[in-house]
Amino acid sequence: MSTADPFETAIERLAEALGRPVSDDAAWSRLRARVARFTRLASEWNQHLDLTAAAGPNDIAEVLVADALVLARPELVNEGEALLDVGTGAGGPALALAILREDLSVALLEPKGKRVAFLRTVIGALDLAPRVRAHEGRVEAKKPSVPPTVAAQLPRIDVSCARATFEPRVWSDVGLALAPSTLVLLAQESVPEGRSVAATVRYTLPFKGAPRQIVRLDRPRTSA
């Protein structure tokens, strides 16, 4: 790859370490450019708005895109699924995943209005609507439910996701209350016990060298 864009360069380095979501070079070049535009917008907005503590193309790309490159694997998010992301923040990893996986429908739920404005700016800039929408709101751990605006967009939710919004054990309960499957993103934590594990992917963040794990959990099957 030959590019002077530091965000594209960072994303290419991440993909070399974690894998591309597509094998075709032309398709990957197009997706890489779109994800780079997202990270560039995040960098620009971050100068005036507290989107992320990351600074510089490598840090921003790793925070927003690295997990998404792993989530793009079909064993974690199946083809054509509808995904709800809770506590989206600056868009990592769910908005990046929505850009990389054009077969998915994604609802982004974020409580802070200024961050929702940023997410909607990216969605508009990359022509992601109506497949991807950002909603202002939150999910309460004690009584988790899908907000009405999200339900209107996604009448059926196949899988839920959250990163750093809830402690993993709490999220496993909340996530499975929202959808039949949920994705748990782990650093040093162990997989919550007593859960039906559908898939597990372990990896290392290329720039920071930190270990990570993503686990897809399914609701327990009920006997007829």
Confidence (pTM): 0.94
Distance CA 1, CA 104 (A): 27
pLDDT beyond 60 at 223: no
Handedness of CA 205, 210, 211, 213 (dihedral sign): negative
* Better pLDDT: 135 or 130: 135
pLDDT grade, residue 48 (50/70/90)?
confident
The whole-chain average pLDDT of the chain stands at: 93
Distance CA 4, CA 180 (A): 43
pLDDT beyond 70 at 41: yes
pLDDT grade, residue 73 (50/70/90)?
very high
Cis peptide before 155 (omega within 30 of 0): no
* Secondary structure (3-state) at 211: strand
Least confident of 71-85, 103-117, 192-206: 192-206
pLDDT of residue 3: 56
Per-residue pLDDT reduced to its tens digit, 8-32: 999 999 999 999 999 999 999 999 9
Tell me what percent of the residues of the chain surpass a pLDDT of 70. 97
* Better pLDDT: 130 or 100: 100
- Is domain 6-218 in CATH 3.40.50.150, yes or no? yes
pLDDT of residue 161: 98
pLDDT grade, residue 221 (50/70/90)?
confident
The phi, psi pair for 183, rounded to 5°, reads -110, 125
Which range, 45-59, 60-74, 179-193, is most confident? Answer: 60-74
Per-residue pLDDT reduced to its tens digit, 164-200: 899 999 999 999 999 999 999 998 778 877 789 999 9
pLDDT of residue 194: 77
Residue whose tokens read 């007829």: 224
